[in-house]
Amino acid sequence: MSLPKTRKQGRFFWEKNSNFKIGKVILLLFFAMAISFLFMVFPSFSSERTFQVNLQADYISWSEDLSIVIGKGKVKLEYKDVQIETENVRIDLHTSELLAWDKVSFKLKTRRVEGENLRYNLEKEEGTIQHPSGKEGLFFYRAEEAFFSSEIIELRKAYFTSCELSLPHYKIRAGRISIRLDDEIVMSNVTFSLGDIPVFWLPFFVQYLREENRFILPSLSYNDFAGWSIQTGYYFYASPSFQAKLHLDYREEKGWAEGIDISYRFKGAKGKLNTYFIKEKDTQEERWLASLEHQQSFSDSTSLKLRLNRLSDKDFLKDYFAREYQTAYLYLAHRGPGYNASILAQPAVNPVFERGSVERLPQFKLNFDYQRINESYFYNAEAIEITNFKKDDKSILRADGFLDISSPWTDFGYFKLRPRIGYHHFNYWYEREGEKLSGYRSIPYQELNLFSEITVKSENYTHIGRLSLDYYHSSEVKDDFELPFSLGDYRKVTNAIHPENLIKLNLKNYLYSGKLRLLSGEVKANYDLTKEKFSPVEVKFHLTPPLPYTEYLDLHFVYDPYRKEYKEIKSSLGLKGNQWNLRVGMKRYPQEDLTDVTAQGGFSVGEKWRVSAYLRYDWEKKNTEEEVYSLWRDLHCWTLRLFLKNKPEKEYWIALHIKAFPKHWIKYHPDRELLEYQ
């Protein structure tokens, strides 16, 4: 067995004596005898194990049989991925046991642990340390004892915190913590405490180090619908690909509610299954939710999406989760060489409140890519859609297809020209009073696009003007038929896609100072050649002036030149300083006699306090329609937010955010982003 590599510092194994002239001779004889002895003794162990240990100390001594080496003073030891700094160390070369007592600094790869009384086996590469403390990512930890190896660190009676103060603001205590290096942290018997006050308990908690941090804390709130409430839950992780969250919520007016959310991710598939149930104590009504969302990728070109929502009533999501109901669907898509094909099924899965809705059972679409026709200068695009519409016991089968042919842009100096023609055809089959009927509609159309762009540069300024002029014409041929139920205002939709005789004008202007855009403007108007009149003119301006505290100025309006009135006016102004921001906006719809004025902003007081607010005022009613406030307090390693929504209904929320989990605020309101301090 080879000796530990040593470097003598301070004191040596012997003392020098300058009084003897023969000191050098004795010293050489001593080295010769020691080296001869080592060559005789150590070869018998060299075949068993070899330790490449680098040991430095103020004082180093050996046992009589040279099987034990002891270092004292400033001890530094290096072995493979292990580095140790201590005052006392003892290495048994027979058993491979290392003992370091008193204060010890132990480093394993990139992890450093401070503690006392280290025991470490050099051969097995594992050991224990008393009263360890260290850091994992953003977290500091302390424990009574730690066991560690090259793959795992296990802490007993430990606590975690991201607060580096001697008296941390919060602690996460655990009876046992296992840290798999670069993989996961598993905690059992977990208690979360603010200071020394326990807040809630978990049987176990798993944190995957390779994924974003996840943590859940109870949130306290109030609204007019349910009164005071507290929402909490437990996260359960079976593996990185399968997790679950158990809901346990209490509402003052409604009582206890529970549910479970399951999320999963496998090769080519991911999804979530959510359930929630409550028996309202004030109405004794049972209300519930069961939803499934799934995505499946069969290959690079074929995928499936599924959404199912089963509810006790149509208002459940709005009352309990501030969300609108979304219809169920099954969507299968395939991308082939030169085409896209898809099948959509959109059934009504909640007969209680979806009765009378129009279902698609199913809808088939086939779109061909825009491609060149042989070696000509023309390109074509094709599509076909077949849909079976169903409403209660009635159904309509519709086949919809079009063929579009165009020529690419042709350059004529400052102008570019592109012609286009197409044909859109609809067929309908349905049954009325036991009789099978059919009908059709055909729409041939033509379009001519003209485009021009002019750039003018003057010193540091650049002006770009873009003009787009489109002429569109279409006609319609149709049967005289009447469908058994409405498919929506298809006439309005069709006219928007295929106007009869129209010229479209679009003018855009941009002004730059260097690379900074100072101004952008757009004017859009249509001229109907059949009615010989202009449509309302739409104007948009976005100004970013190089002025102090000014971020932007937006103006958008729609003006009817014949009635000489505005149909719509929108404007907003953004201001921002080092410690504050303010956004003021106005929306006016004269025909609806509606004018809204909004203000959204916030300011900070020092580095610890922030205040945010959002107001919406109805100018016509002289009344505030929405009123929301938020108070934010930085408490070193965590933050506290108080939230008040006064209108349209009262809601109060208290939110806690630990900075170690930056992406996971406790969400306390669906419109929380309105109150973010920018």
User: 62 pairs with which residues across the strands?
Assistant: 69
Distance CA 257, CA 249 (A): 5
| 159-168, 312-321, 606-615: segment of lowest average pLDDT | 159-168
Q: What does the DSSP 8-state code read for residue 521?
A: E
Q: Which two tokens stand for residue 261?
A: 């959310």
Is 441 in contact with 425 (CB distance < 8 Å)?
yes
Residue (of 170, 172, 248) closest to 206 by Cα position: 172
Greater confidence, 199 or 61? 61
pLDDT of residue 297: 94
The band of 197, judged by pLDDT with boundaries at 50, 70 and 90, is confident
pLDDT tens, 513-572? 988 899 999 999 999 998 889 999 999 999 998 889 999 999 999 999 998 999 999 999
Please name the amino acid found at residue 243: Q
Across 5-9, 45-49, 432-436, 673-677, the highest mean pLDDT is recorded for: 432-436
Residue 214: pLDDT above 80? no
**pLDDT beyond 80 at 201:** no
| CB-count burial class (<10 Å; 0-12, 13-18, 19+) for 565 | exposed
Name which residue leads in pLDDT, 502 or 10. Answer: 502
Q: What is the mean pLDDT of residues 159-170?
A: 76
C-alpha–C-alpha distance, residues 155 and 136, integer Å? 12
| pLDDT surpassing 60 at residue 41 | no
Q: Which of 18-32, 387-401, 587-601 has the lowest mean pLDDT?
A: 18-32
Q: What is the DSSP string of 118-166?
A: EEEETTTTEEEEEEEEEEETTEEEEEEEEEEESSEEEEEEEEEES--SS
Of the two residues 33 and 21, the one the predictor is more confident about is 33
Strands 197-208, 184-194: pairing kind: antiparallel
- What does the pLDDT read at residue 432? 86
pLDDT at 21 over 60: no
* pLDDT, average across residues 323-336: 92
Of the pLDDT bands very low, low, confident and very high (cuts 50, 70, 90), residue 215 is low
- 502 compared with 670, residue with greater pLDDT: 502
Q: Which of these, 589, 639, 644, 587, lies nearest to 614 by C-alpha position?
A: 644
**Secondary structure element (H or E) that encloses residue 421, with its range:** strand 415-432
pLDDT digits (tens, 9 = 90+) for 432-482: 888 899 999 999 999 999 999 999 998 889 999 999 999 999 998 988 888
Max CA pair span of the chain? 131
To the nearest 10°, report the CA torsion of 668, 669, 675, 678: 70
* Residue 552 bridge partners (DSSP): 574
- In this predicted structure, what is the pLDDT of residue 168? 77
* Residue 142 pLDDT grade (very low, low, confident, very high; cuts 50, 70, 90): confident
pTM of the model: 0.60
Amino acid at 678: Q
- What phi and psi, each to the nearest 5 degrees, are found at residue 521? -140, 150
Of the ranges 133-137, 278-282, 365-369, which one carries the lowest mean pLDDT score? 133-137
* 566 closest CA partner among 542, 585, 597, 588: 588
Question: What was the pLDDT predicted at 26?
Answer: 46
Report d(CA 133, CA 111) in Å as an integer: 11
Residue type, 340: N
DSSP letter assigned to residue 301: S
130: tokens are 């008393």
Indicate whether 430 pLDDT > 90.
yes
1-10, 101-110, 624-633: range with lowest mean pLDDT: 1-10
Q: Which two tokens stand for residue 197?
A: 């006050």
Show Cβ contacts of residue 575 under 8 Å, excluding neighbours closer than 6 positions: 549, 550, 551, 581, 582, 583, 584
Cα–Cα distance measured from residue 647 to residue 629, given in angstroms and rounded to the nearest whole number? 11
- Distant-in-sequence, close-in-space partners of 514: CB < 8 Å, separation ≥ 6: 460
